[in-house]
């Protein structure tokens, strides 16, 4: 898994590539990267799943932990560009009931400021 972060319109976007799974070579977890942004005062987080191929239970836990940490600080965490295969995983694990999921990044970005 590779993760690059960028900021657009006060939203931190994590472009995630590869597989979100437990690995022996993880230097920093997705949740830790989110916590670092939260510690820096950033409260709007968007995961771009365009290039995510697979997610296991560890990955689901990372996403849920990231959501909880963000939500507890009054922030928002959303997901964009998820594949149909991964969307099924989100449905089975009930993450679709908790997370806002968007087909397009621009629509997701706009949604942060519609409340």
Per-domain residue ranges of the chain = 2-111
* CATH assignment of 2-111, among 3.40.50.9100, 3.90.1150.10, 3.30.750.24, 1.20.1600.10: 3.30.750.24
Over pLDDT 70: what percentage of the chain? 97
- pLDDT digit string, tens, across residues 8-19: 999 999 999 999
- pLDDT digit string, tens, across residues 23-67: 766 678 899 999 999 999 999 999 999 999 999 999 999 999 999
> Residue 3 burial by CB count (10 A; 0-12/13-18/19+): exposed, middle or buried?
middle
**Would you state the pLDDT for residue 114?**
86
């Amino acid at each position: 898994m590779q993760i690059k972060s960028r900021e657009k319109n006060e939203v931190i976007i994590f472009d995630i590539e590869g597989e979100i799974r437990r690995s022996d070579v993880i230097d920093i977890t997705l949740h830790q990267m989110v916590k670092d942004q939260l510690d820096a005062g950033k409260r709007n987080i968007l995961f771009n799943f365009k290039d995510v191929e697979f997610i296991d239970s560890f990955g689901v836990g990372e996403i849920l932990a990231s959501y909880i940490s963000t939500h507890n600080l009054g922030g928002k965490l959303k997901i964009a560009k998820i594949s149909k295969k991964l969307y099924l995983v989100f449905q089975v694990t009930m993450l679709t009931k908790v997370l806002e999921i968007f087909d397009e990044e621009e629509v997701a970005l706009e949604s942060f400021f519609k409340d």
